[in-house]
Structure 1
Amino acid sequence: MSFLYKADPARGEQWARLFAQKAPDIPFRLWPDVGDAASVRYLAAWQPPENPHAALPNLEVVFSVGAGIDQFDLSGVPAHVPVVRMIEPGIVEGMVEYVTQAVLTIHRDLFDYAAQQSACVWRELPVRPAATRRIGVLGLGVLGTAVLERLRLFGFACAGWSRSPHTLDGIECYAGADTLDAFLARTDILICLLPLTPATRGLLNKATFDALPAGASLINVGRGPHLNQDDLLDALAGGRLRNAILDVTDPEPLPAAHPLWTHPRVRITPHIASATRPDTAVDVVLDNIRRYRAGLPMIGQIDRRQGY
């Protein structure tokens, strides 16, 4: 009954050492060294092998090594095999750090100060109190909730939107498509932390930008296909949006000539907002294996009907 890792090989070596220390009873294999394919019960992957049921006939659980599963072709994973996305402290901590610095970059006018520095201009801009800046997070899963809880400590007026109702202390919560425009209308800095599904693909578009207050800003740390990049450029050109910080694009990377690379009001990072940390990820996976063996629900198990 072995465990197979199919993702970044360097990280896989770290997983192997941690499995040897923490679960020596579970043989660990690093793709493509599958060993006896019939013995593989658990797979951790960024993308499973093609036709995983044929390649791994006795597979019981598939773990994503990332927080999302949109990169999976779920049609190739048998319906009886649970798929579990990664929810671990390293991913959460990294995302909270990244979004906090992105919000503060916008809030404290660092785009403007960068432009002034390049022009050798020394000029103070008015400091706006955090309580007057309205933050809105699309997506109230583990990551969205953690981000809002941290930003609330700065005194920002925080709100979140999700498909289903949530209740969070000190945070205004909106739920359902009929509340989206009201949520956007009260949001000065919009943060996307939605899962990528057919319903959310392209959601960051002209209609969404038009519903925001003029001069709002965007932070996309979800997935590149959430964003209509042409609509973003138009919104920036027309003043509907003032700034954008993008950790994800479509495609990744963008073509060298793409105008977003050199736009003065856009910052791009190469999908590094957060990453699975091997030490904490292995603990989470081993705990889920114990839960699975005991017949308990696994943390992060997806609902295939919803796509997350």
Structure 2
Amino acid sequence: MLNILFSAQPERWDEYKGPLNAAFATAGLQANIARDHAPEAVDYIIFAPNGPVTDFSPYTKTKAVLSLWAGVETVVDNPTLTQPLCRLVDPSLTAGMVEWVTGHTLRHHLGMDHHIRKQDGVWEERFPPLARKRPVTILGTGALGAACGQAIHALGFPVTGWSRTAKELPNIRHLHGQDGLQAALSGAEIVILLLPQTPATENILNAETLALLAPGAFIINPGRGPLIDDDALLAALDSGQVGHATLDVFRTEPLPAAHPYWAHPSVTVTPHIASTTRPDTAAQIICENISRAEAGQPLKHVVDRNRRY
């Protein structure tokens, strides 16, 4: 019998208890999944960064910590976490992100905000270019960024992807490294941020890189708040270098009521809802990974502590 600790906010237990037990029963694994196991008895931890476990040192028997979140930046530097840490790669989370990113890409491309807000009776014909004339750049081409890139390409947009290391992705012009970053951003009309938060990616959009974009470009950030230098973005919005920013993530969440993003006419704030973990599919992913470990197979999606993702 495996002892599996569920360490997330208490209200999430009611959502996850059924799917987790069903997944383990289907897999034929006997597991006691609970919120109150003694640390020394725990074989695996199902973990969310806002849950109760912050000190992993008492969990001496624990074989792995499996995150319910795609991002691990808030726990990867925890000095007590010596067990393998697995991030969540869930097709449902990816699908949700694709839908959100594609929707806002089309919203900005078509100029929907202008028509929705215009109520003064003026017949003003504005025609957007065809998608093939609107270059889109995606910073971050992991599972989420690559999937969004394929969906946007399918709509006709020319897509450039960028990451720190070289990749080959179908339908996407892929660049990497510092020189590649400048080339990827130069002339981009829509920029989508889906990078992990690391020291190397913090403030990747700053005064210098924002100046590379096509005038009036759109920024869409469902990745991580610290990827953007907020002061630089506000200045670019005020000058018109950036036409609009749709932001789902922020350095401080919830976004403070006094933050200038709330009142800025060229900023859309959404409350970190671009995509979320779905209990039914997340339970299956976690069960599969634990099954692999118990069968002597390597865990999937183990975090590289040096790269921080």
Matching residue of 2:56 = 52
Instruction: State the TM-score, normalized to the length of structure 1.
Output: 0.93
Identify unmatched segments of 5+ residues in structure 2.
Answer: none
- Aligned-pair distance for 1:126? 1.3
Name the counterpart of 1:263. Answer: 264
- 40-49 or 275-284: bigger deviation: 40-49
Q: Can you list the C-alpha shifts for 1:91-141, whole angstroms capped at 9, x where unaligned?
A: 101100110011011000023223423x45442211310000111100110
Check 1:299–1:240 CA distance in 2 against 1; reply closer, same or farther (3 A cut).
same
- Say whether 1:135 aligns with 2:140: no
255-264 or 186-195, larger mean C-alpha shift: 255-264
Kept in 1: contact 2:160–2:172 (CA 8 A): yes
1:102 is matched with 104
Q: Give the equivalent residue in structure 2 for 1:154.
A: 155
Q: Tell me how far apart the structure 1 counterparts of residues 199 and 292 of structure 2 sit (CA, whole Å).
A: 31
1:76 aligns with 2:86: no
- In the alignment, which of 25, 29, 32 is matched to residue 27 of structure 1? 32
Q: 1:59 to 1:127 in 2, by over 3 A?
A: same
User: CA separation in 1, counterparts of 2:127 and 2:223?
Assistant: 31
TM-score (norm 2): 0.93
Name the counterpart of 2:236. 235
Residue in 1 aligned with 2:68?
65
| Match in the other structure for 1:16 | 17
- Aligned partner of 1:92 in structure 2 is 94
| Contact 1:46-1:71 at 8 Å conserved across structures | no
What residue is the counterpart of 1:286 in the other structure? 287
1:53, 1:76 within 8 Å by CA — same for their partners in 2?
A: no
Shift of 1:73: 5.0
Check conservation: 1:40, 1:59, Cα contact below 8 A. Answer: yes
Matched-pair contact (CA < 8 Å) for 1:87–1:299:
no
Contact 1:209 1:235 in 2 (8 A): yes
Say if 1:45 and 1:122 are closer, same or farther in 2 by CA, change over 3 A.
farther
CA distance in 1: counterparts of 2:281 and 2:167, whole angstroms: 27
Using the alignment, how far apart are the partners of 2:197 and 2:95 within structure 1?
21
CA–CA distance in structure 2, aligned partners of residues 257 and 120 of structure 1:
34
Which segment drifts farther, 271-280 or 45-54? 45-54
SS at match of 1:74: coil
- Alignment partners' CA distance in 2, 1:214 and 1:263: 18
Q: 2:20–2:284: 8 Å Cα contact kept in structure 1?
A: no
Q: Which ranges in structure 1 are unaligned for 5 or more consecutive residues?
A: none
CA contact (8 A) 2:76 2:308 kept: no
When residues 120 and 269 of structure 1 are mapped into structure 2, their CA distance, relative to the original with a 3 A threshold, is farther
CA distance in 1, matches of 2:128, 2:57: 58
Corresponding residue number in structure 2 for 1:212: 213
Matches of residues 297-308 of structure 1 in structure 2 within 5 Å? 297-308=298-309
Counterpart residue identity of residue 275, structure 1: T
Letter matched to residue 50 of structure 1: T
Aligned-pair CA distance for 1:254: 2.1
Instruction: Letter of the 2:294 partner, please give it.
Output: R
Aligned residue identity for 2:180: T
Question: 3-state SS of the aligned residue for 2:98?
Answer: helix
Identity, % of aligned positions: 36
Local SS of the residue matching 2:57: helix
Helix, strand or coil for the counterpart of 2:128? coil
Question: What SS does structure 1 have at the residue aligned with 2:78?
Answer: helix
Q: Tell me, what secondary structure is at the counterpart of 1:53?
A: coil
Q: Deviations over 1:245-270 (max 9, x none)?
A: 00011211222122211212111100
Shift of 1:271: 0.3
Report SS of the residue matched to 2:188. Answer: coil
Cα RMSD of the aligned pairs, angstroms, is 1.5
